[in-house]
A and B are shown apart, each in its own frame.
Chain A
Amino acid sequence: MAKLSKSAKIYLILVFAVLYAPIFYLIFYSFNSGGTMASFEGFTWEHYGAVFNDTRLLIILMNTVIIALLSSLFSTAIGVLGAIGIVFLRNRKTRNTVLSLNTILIVSPDVIIGASFLILFTLIGVKLGFASVLISHIAFSIPIVVIMVLPKLQEMSTSLIDAATDLGASKRDILTRVIIPYIKPGIFAGFFLALTYSLDDFAVTFFVTGNGFSTLSIEIYSMARAGITLTINALSALIFVVTLGLVLGYYFFNQRTGQSPGTGGAKL
């Protein structure tokens, strides 16, 4: 394999520098004792203190985590069952229809998902707030779980199930003892993706959140519109560290189970 030329290396270094500059810029100024992101005056932890002393912010942080955990649990459960159902659909046409319906929420712009969910919730009378946000997050995570689980199911040989049936396993046994253990990596990947999608979501939540309930993204949005406060910097530094930990953890988990990484997927 040809070695990278010097210009290629410089190009890649530039791209990496630009990609990470804003993130490190934020983190750097989170330690600034001055109040702005323009001049660094001195080192301080005070903005981190501000994050942990701000009860409102902590409640919002908790909301965000609870929504993420609950929504990924529910969407993983429903998505896994859905994927199993899809695999066992005999009719090719039905299966393709279900699959394309499944993809719609993945490719749709968030604005449309948000707006249409807002109409839906208002019409069926779901109060905007915790419930509507949770339901929306479950709804947009389900197709992702399905797509992460399907390949695992498809590579599973049907003779495994036949063997289990021949050995007298009930349907429940087949599901819990054969299928689920086999597709476990897919389930974990789906759960992980659902978790990060939920933590990351702004646009859909923005539409269905109403007044009084807020997640981190929503809060950062309103704080950023009001102007720069270094509390956001401290918060983003914390989020960056957590995200990095999650992604690297996931990467090494995947390495160990022998899958390729790069399962990000476009989502904005």
Chain B
Amino acid sequence: MKDNPSRPLYLVPYYLWIVLFVIAPIALVFYFSFLDLTGAFSLENYKNFFSSVYLRMTLSSFWYAFVITLITVIIAYPTAYWLTKTKHKQLWLLLIIIPSWINLLLKAYAFIGIFGLYGPANKLLQTLGTGPWQILFTDFSFIFVAVYIFIPFMVLPIFNSLDKINPALIDASRDLGASAFTTFRRVIFPLAINGVKSGIQAVFIPALSLFVITRLIAGNKVITLGTAIEQQFLVTQNWGMGSTIAVFLILFMIIIMMVTGQKEKGGSDNGKTK
């Protein structure tokens, strides 16, 4: 690196990476979305996407993602809140995060056993008096496992933003006569909203594109945008249609990022680990 400082040689691999693996793949997906099965240029895929089949699939994908995200927030918020109040909170947080490091496939596999016809979930139900149920391959098992998998990703950003709140603000609110609920509604919640937003970002988009859990746990009954893309690419071999769905998934992703986006002032950046 002795030459021209404005164009350092050591940056070549990195820029090459950007061009080859960031820009080119996106461009290719857009390009392929305009190709039909024979490889000719057409708008057929887009026309198909707006047919009732794909629209219904998109809607149901959104509905599942919405339900999954909502339940995850409801479970993760109190968890994060009380975690900030424990002793050794960093260690407890780490213990919440560790399951997220375990391979997704293994967790899904565990649930095949747990929810199976002779698994512990059904045994519990039987001792409670209601006979064995088909739990696996239902909406319930799908949503349960998805929520299970996303909880750490929701707890982490909420924990980080709650943890940053200056306790003096809460004391002040209590001293001024606010009830615990009012303090939460008027002080804690607004200050930690960015963590919730990052959590939603970290859960909603992956929930739209899940395909492992749908295949293993939902038994192909639930089709998300991710499942559809995988199907088109690897089973039907219709790369054009797969790309079109991918284009829409990218669009939805951008919209979600904009909606949950944070202003670059003050207490931002307390969400996804950076």
Contacts and interface: CB of A to CB of B under 8 A. Distances in A.
Most buried by A among B17, B20, B239: B17
Interface residues of B, number: 92
A81 B151 contact: no
Q: Is the interface of A mostly helix, strand, loop or mixed?
A: helix
Nearest to A88: B8
Given A262-B273, A265-B273, A111 B230 contact: yes
Interface string B48-82: 00000000000000000000000000010011001
Contacts, number: 251
B165 interface: no
A260 interface: yes
A268 interface: yes
Contacts of A187: none
B172 interface: no
A16 B97 CA distance: 11
Contacts of B1: 171-172, 175
A109 B104 contact: no
A221 B82 contact: no
Contact of B105 (A29, A202, A266): A202
Contacts of A199: 103
Most buried by A among B18, B111, B160, B203: B18
A261 B206 CA distance: 23
B85 interface: yes
B246 A115 contact: yes
B226 A111 contact: yes
Interface of A: 1-4, 8, 11-12, 15-16, 18-23, 25-26, 29, 36-39, 77-79, 81-82, 84-85, 88, 98, 101-102, 104-105, 107-113, 115-120, 123, 139, 142, 147, 151, 171-172, 175, 196, 199-200, 202-203, 206-207, 216-217, 220-221, 224-225, 228, 232, 236, 239-240, 243-244, 246-247, 251, 260-266, 268
Interface of B: 1-2, 8, 10-11, 13-14, 17-18, 20-26, 28-29, 32, 75, 78-79, 82-83, 85-86, 90, 92-114, 116, 118-120, 148-149, 151-153, 156, 159-160, 167, 201-203, 205-206, 208-212, 215-216, 225-226, 229-230, 233-234, 239, 242-243, 246, 249-250, 253, 257, 272-274
